[in-house]
Amino acid sequence: MVKKFYDFVKNSLIPFSQLKGFKGTEYTYPLLYGITGVNIPNKEEINHALERVKEEIGGFSADALWLAELVTSLKDGERFFLVDDAFRWLCVALNEGINGWALLMGKEEKDEVFQLIKKLQEKKLKVFVTGSVVEGTEEFPESVTSFGSSQTGLIYFAQLLVRYALIYGRVPVGDLHEISHSIEENAPGVIFVVGELSSIERLLVQGMLSLGTPVLGLHHTQNLVGPLIVSQTISDMVDKAWRLPNIRARLVFEATPDVPVLVGKVFSHEEILKDDIGLRLEGSLFSFIVTRPSLTVQEDAVTVLGEVKKASTFCVLVELGNRDVDDPMTLWVGRILRRVINYANGIKVKSKGNRIIDLIMTKDALKSGFTLEHLGNLIKTELRNDFPAIGPIHITFILNKEDAKKMHPEICSFIEKRKNKIKNITEESESVFYGCTRCRSFSLAHACTVTPERPSQCGVRPWYMIKAHAILDPGSVYEPCVLIDKGKCLDPLLGEYEGVNHSTERRTGGRVKRIYLHSIFDFPHTACSCFQNIAFHIPEVDGIGLMPRDFKGEAPNGMTWTKLANKVAGRQCLDGVASFSVEYLYSQKFFQGDGGYSRVVWMTDHLKKIAGNAIPEKFRRSIATEKDITTIEELKTFIKKNRDPENL
């Protein structure tokens, strides 16, 4: 196998001057960089590695991987390459129920391959295919990603795993030993060799084994050396993969509501055509769909006030009898409520302006015998799937406008009271904060602490949502949320709390012992990859820059989003860099430990517009954007010209 590979590389790598690397990545050649620390190899380095492969000198199969990467870049160009952003999104998908990544290789009967794909997808593994598996098969399911039929397509998969080790494992480049540990234990990839490999493919799979990647073979070993797992059946293969330490083996079996129509998330965005509508319950100015706590609810119940045939409005009131449920938590449960109603095939709630809500049912749903009692049953079951400890639920459908009108002031005042509670809450007014470790599925050193004034960096998990999951869904694998007793405040300006430090240490497995909630220096908050923005120190002017995720340009110090994101992602507190959400721009405590907006010297034009009046007027003029300046020298001049020393 070595001879063929040697000839293959030797014949493919001329001229060297064409080795320009991949675009959309910080690493030029991710495998080469990870394995050797080199960005673009020179002729001697390539020849030296080729000789090592030829002589089968220690580590040669890992060298074969990066040599194949160079060849593949010349042959395929960018066609199958996954840029850093796409890579990070694959990691983030580990949060959304994807349990790992599976690459299928080897020549095998189509039926067997499809059977394996089906089983892997049932286990929620993201499937990739390459090499002879792809040959002659054009109709893979859309969800399967192909790296093409070339013999070296595996390198794209290898690039994912090595980037995982570099970014989330924080393994030093060139440390093959550490990379292999990180991949074996944490990178969520596994290779399935389902049929015969070419000699070049075999050498590359050998290289992946040496990098710690779990490899499973069907029927035989393919002459591979190392910890290959051989199975005789597809089912056994999948079962064994399921038990690998790097696969996030999580499946949650949810209860199915007892209703006469199909129910599932797949129907959430179902469009009902006008001609298919069998029933429409039209909302009125007094309509509402609200969840609130209630001390009188002791058991599950569904009540319908009014008659469907005479309905003059449509309202849904969900009352929760659990004494631990407070007003803010019901806001989150209410958001889930709107979603779950739409899980039913052929039944949808539609909001119009002014909170008027219609319920629409198709002719088929009506024919199936679906009633509002069924809808109540569906709501109870689905809410309980999301919040197992939700307690008793009383659902009331109000169909009579007069009843709705009577209740309307009370409902409006509840909504207003809840809104004010959420608005006025501060870090000082609370004894607990909220912890989320959902991103631990790919970012091991990361544990979010969310407070009313330090919103979650992904921007989609408000504190009351984390509170709802911590209390009503404790111990969940998908929503690992906890309450954090904030303990003694060690530094109010930096936002350091004894309880937060303890919780961070516990939730990061001892990796991070201390964090500041409101500073980017010394002990900034940990980061994952779903952050919306990054704050970074610009030492040349001792100021702070702010960059959002979608920015395609460069900061005056040459920083791009990819460079910053790779720096901070999965990081255990990197001095001078911190991630944050858009909402944090409006926080009274916005990086107050560093001087807040007085220390910000550059931010993108778009972000500055979003921050708007949250930036105190006296600093607005003195914060440069990419439209004002592009270099550090220009930034220095801009600061001198626009900054009023009295405002510092």
Kindly list the residues in this chain that would bind ligand SF4 in the complex (CB under 6 A). 436-439, 448, 450, 456-458, 461, 528, 530
Name the residue nearer to ligand SF4 (CB basis): 88 or 394: 88
Name the residue nearer to ligand SF4 (CB basis): 333 or 448: 448
Task: Tell me if 83 sits within 8 A of 23, measured CB to CB.
Answer: yes
What SS3 class is residue 162?
A: helix
Name the residue nearer to ligand SF4 (CB basis): 380 or 446: 446
Name the residue nearer to ligand SF4 (CB basis): 283 or 524: 524
Q: How many DSSP H helices and E strands does the chain contain? A: 20, 22
Least spacing, CB of residue 479 vs ligand SF4, in Å: 9
Name the residue nearer to ligand SF4 (CB basis): 397 or 442: 442
Name the residue nearer to ligand SF4 (CB basis): 316 or 436: 436
Least spacing, CB of residue 532 vs ligand SF4, in Å: 9
Task: Tell me if 397 sits within 8 A of 316, measured CB to CB.
Answer: yes
Euclidean distance between CA atoms 55 and 521, whole angstroms: 50
Least spacing, CB of residue 615 vs ligand SF4, in Å: 24
Residue whose C-alpha is closest to residue 280's, from 161, 361, 164 = 361
Task: Tell me if 605 sits within 8 A of 626, measured CB to CB.
Answer: yes
Name the residue nearer to ligand SF4 (CB basis): 187 or 439: 439
Least spacing, CB of residue 49 vs ligand SF4, in Å: 39
- Taking CA atoms, 51 is separated from 116, 153, 277, 505, in Å, by 38, 23, 72, 47
Least spacing, CB of residue 94 vs ligand SF4, in Å: 11
For the record, the structure tokens of 52 come out as: 């090592």
Least spacing, CB of residue 440 vs ligand SF4, in Å: 7
What SS3 class is residue 204?
A: helix
433 CB neighbour count, 10 Å cutoff: 27
Least spacing, CB of residue 470 vs ligand SF4, in Å: 12
Least spacing, CB of residue 350 vs ligand SF4, in Å: 29
What SS3 class is residue 516?
A: strand
Residue whose C-alpha is closest to residue 323's, from 408, 390, 401, 386 = 390
The Cα diameter of the chain in Å comes to 88
Euclidean distance between CA atoms 430 and 225, whole angstroms: 58
Least spacing, CB of residue 437 vs ligand SF4, in Å: 6
Name the residue nearer to ligand SF4 (CB basis): 151 or 441: 441
Name the residue nearer to ligand SF4 (CB basis): 228 or 520: 520
Residue whose C-alpha is closest to residue 155's, from 28, 264, 70 = 70
* Strand ranges, E, within 181-337: 189-193, 215-218, 229-231, 277-281, 289-293, 301-305, 315-320
Euclidean distance between CA atoms 248 and 97, whole angstroms: 9
